[in-house]
Structure 1
Amino acid sequence: MSYIKRFVMTSLVLAAQLTFAAPIGTLYTANEREGSISQVQLDRGTVRTVKVEVAPHNVQVSPDGRWLLVVGMPQRAGHEGHSTGTGQLLVFRTDALAEPAFVLAAGAHPAHVVTDLAGKRAFVTDSASDLVRVFDLEKRQEVGQIGTGRFPHGLRLSPDGSTLYVADLKADAVSVIDVATLKETARIPVGKAPAQVGFAPDGKQAYVSLSGENKLGLIDTATRRLVTKIAVGRMPIQMYATPDGKQVYVANQGSAKLPDQRVSVIDPASRKVVATINSGKGAHGVVVSNDGAYAFVSNLEDGTVSIIDTATHQVVARPQVGAGPNGISFQQP
């Protein structure tokens, strides 16, 4: 049976009119609880939600804006919120979301995906297999596997494109991977339950969310050592630095029974929380616009995205997306 025959129809919903100077660009969210992805066209104020055949946990737009990469586990009818089978990497053209251009098997439990700077290779964490899987997007096939610590989850590429940092959730460590050789070159002890990593724009610091400690760790990338921890909200997940490196936005998800709704804003220079923003229940994913004017946070329990003015630290809009938004990515035209 072809993918298109199994595909659920696209819905198009007009968002509330945005009352701020929205950036020209598009947001994408992975809506794990309903098996969909949402496309938020910021300058138009529209939200388009497309059903997919996986429970998507993460999304990533390629650097050239051509591809939208989606990873998740397949869903089984009648088992809402649960999935079985082999995970998948779905690759869509950003101008054609009706169905994926191609689909690749992505291991036992794909969690996050990023591409290299050229957008030719994709790196997917396979949490169940303690691997990062490497895919050639031109050949449309898996071309390598890299061993990590236990249960690799979030990963990010360094600004110069040479290195991957991977949060090994059950190893309490961060794996450092050389992109050229596709080998792990270091493993940095960081603390309890690291969920995701990020980088300062100059690449001199890396950040890691310690979801088991309610802290953000700062790593010196030259020495590959954890240098300090900063207390944030409950169960921090994703973080993202502004292009000038002066602020880091940390989304605090909390638990399912007691969700957090705060975003902690950190000044890396002083190593202090300088603002706390009420985003929405279950703040999870974070990305920042290319000009640094706005931060975007997916709110897992509310099914919304908070658009935050980074100058005022105010939420200026909160469009509705699909249920259970996790990963989030921003496309600048």
Structure 2
Amino acid sequence: MRTRNRMWVAAIACAVLLGGCAMETKEQARQRLQAGGGKTGEAAAPASTTAGAAQNGAGKLTAVQFYVPSEKENSLSVIDVPTGQVVGKVQLQEAPSTVVFSSTMREAYAANMNSSTVSIINTQTLKVEKEVAVGPMPHGMALSADNKTLYVAAVADQFVYIVDTKEGNEAGTIDLGTGAKTNYLVLFGDRLYVSDHENDKVYVVDVKTKRTVLTIPTGKTPRAIRVSDDGKKLYVPTAGEGALETYDTADGKPLGRISVTPGATDVVVSEDGTTAVVTSMEGSAVTFVDLQAGKPVETVTDLPGARHIEYNRQQTKAYVTLSGSNEVVSIDTSTKRVVDRIQVGATPHGIRIKALPGIGGSC
């Protein structure tokens, strides 16, 4: 019996090494999915019931993938992380920009700028289940932890639009004031952070009262903002300053500014808080930043229209959309070199990883 057990352990270990991703048992996955719930709190079906439902297995629930909207092709590419191949496509409305996932990864939400809608996507069938009308030019989005409320920034006006994901309709707005412009969003607890790229501000909103509780003046043209894992720091790439700015979320006071390439667009921060990687769309570059030393350490150039960025699960690679070359590049975070180029739709915009906790941990 012990010999047989050792053989099973060896077989599983081999599968992990060959597959390149961490694994969990089917029973563990079933229990976790049931505990987390399916769509809007309903019990989720086991992954095996939906595997293979979409083209090339792209709809498999446990697959680790990136979703990349294409502005010019009005579509979304699904990239398989272990192989670096495009394994599926979703047709969307006009000029999709960004995408977010529910915590169960069973739904994705894509903002369509020119059609002023949000597409609700079934990630197993790769089909759009509903279009929700919101404000003009929806862009950044943030989803509540219970998956029930989607907050949508509309670049062309002063409101954040609230979508009830269960009903699939607009359920109100948050007014940021006359002249305000909304761009990118981050939700941390009950606080919603909204960048205003035209007025050089970040608004901090209490989502319970729907009121602005703090306004943080920033450098010129703040773009895709991030909050640290502990919620204490706000990271703001400012395109007009060519900088990564950091603010205290408690009082909005500046904590530092690090020069990067002009046109700073998006940022990811390592789990230990020591390193940041900043994209620069106009500068066509990516800058690695030492946050402890407060300085850039290396810049990767010749990345046309380097726009948005996401880490893989282990943060060994950073994936960047290149709106100028219709590619997603993979950059090794240790060597700081491009290791892969993936052709996607024309003018790729945002990028977001789809990965369930405990699955694909080494991808």
- Whether the TM-score (by the shorter chain) exceeds 0.5 is yes
Matched with 1:195 is: 223
* 1:36 and 2:65 aligned: no
Matched with 2:93 is: 53
Residues of 1 paired with 2:312 and 2:184: CA distance?
Answer: 20
Matched with 1:327 is: 350
* 1:288 and 2:315 aligned: no
Matched with 2:147 is: 119
Q: Which has the higher helix share?
A: 2
Q: Deviations over 1:79-124 (max 9, x none)?
A: xxxxxxx500001011122x31111001112111121122221110
Matched with 1:88 is: 117
Residues of 1 paired with 2:294 and 2:149: CA distance?
Answer: 34
Note the C-alpha offset of 1:50. 3.0
Give the 5 Å matches for 1:217-232. Answer: 217-232=245-260
Note the C-alpha offset of 1:132. 0.8
Residues of 2 paired with 1:283 and 1:136: CA distance?
Answer: 33
Note the C-alpha offset of 1:311. 2.3
CA 1:312–1:179 in 2, change beyond 3 Å: closer, same or farther? farther
Q: Which has the higher strand share?
A: 1
Range that drifts further, 168-177 or 268-277: 268-277
* 1:269 and 2:309 aligned: no
Give the 5 Å matches for 1:111-150. Answer: 111-148=139-176, 150=180
Residues of 2 paired with 1:332 and 1:218: CA distance?
Answer: 28
SS of equivalent residue, structure 1 residue 37 = strand
CA 1:165–1:318 in 2, change beyond 3 Å: closer, same or farther? same
SS of equivalent residue, structure 2 residue 184 = strand
Q: Deviations over 1:47-92 (max 9, x none)?
A: 1233322210111122221111111134xxxxxxxxxxx5000010
Matched with 1:301 is: 324
* 1:154 and 2:184 aligned: yes
Matched with 1:3 is: none
Note the C-alpha offset of 1:12. 7.2
Matched with 1:212 is: 240
SS of equivalent residue, structure 2 residue 271 = coil
Query: Normalized against structure 1, the TM-score is what?
Result: 0.83
Higher Rg = 2
Note the C-alpha offset of 1:308. 1.8
CA contact (8 A) 1:166 1:196 kept: no
SS of equivalent residue, structure 1 residue 327 = coil
CA contact (8 A) 2:92 2:119 kept: no
Residues of 2 paired with 1:278 and 1:49: CA distance?
Answer: 29
Count, aligned residues: 296
CA contact (8 A) 1:172 1:193 kept: yes
* 1:164 and 2:192 aligned: yes
Matched with 1:25 is: 64
Matched with 1:314 is: 337
Letter in 1 for 2:268: Y
SS of equivalent residue, structure 1 residue 280 = coil
Q: Which structure 1 segments of 5+ residues have no match? A: 1-10, 14-22, 75-85, 255-259
SS of equivalent residue, structure 1 residue 193 = coil
Residues of 2 paired with 1:167 and 1:209: CA distance?
Answer: 10
Residues of 1 paired with 2:338 and 2:181: CA distance?
Answer: 34
SS of equivalent residue, structure 1 residue 124 = strand
What's the RMSD between the two structures over aligned residues?
2.1
CA contact (8 A) 2:196 2:202 kept: yes
CA 1:109–1:136 in 2, change beyond 3 Å: closer, same or farther? same
SS of equivalent residue, structure 2 residue 330 = strand
Letter in 1 for 2:119: L
SS of equivalent residue, structure 1 residue 70 = strand
Query: Normalized against structure 2, the TM-score is what?
Result: 0.77
SS of equivalent residue, structure 1 residue 152 = coil
Residues of 2 paired with 1:12 and 1:184: CA distance?
Answer: 44
Note the C-alpha offset of 1:45. 3.5
CA contact (8 A) 1:243 1:291 kept: no
Residues of 2 paired with 1:180 and 1:244: CA distance?
Answer: 31
Residues of 2 paired with 1:279 and 1:297: CA distance?
Answer: 12
SS of equivalent residue, structure 1 residue 195 = coil
Matched with 1:257 is: none
Letter in 1 for 2:122: R
Note the C-alpha offset of 1:300. 0.6
Residues of 2 paired with 1:53 and 1:252: CA distance?
Answer: 27
Note the C-alpha offset of 1:202. 1.8
Letter in 1 for 2:197: L
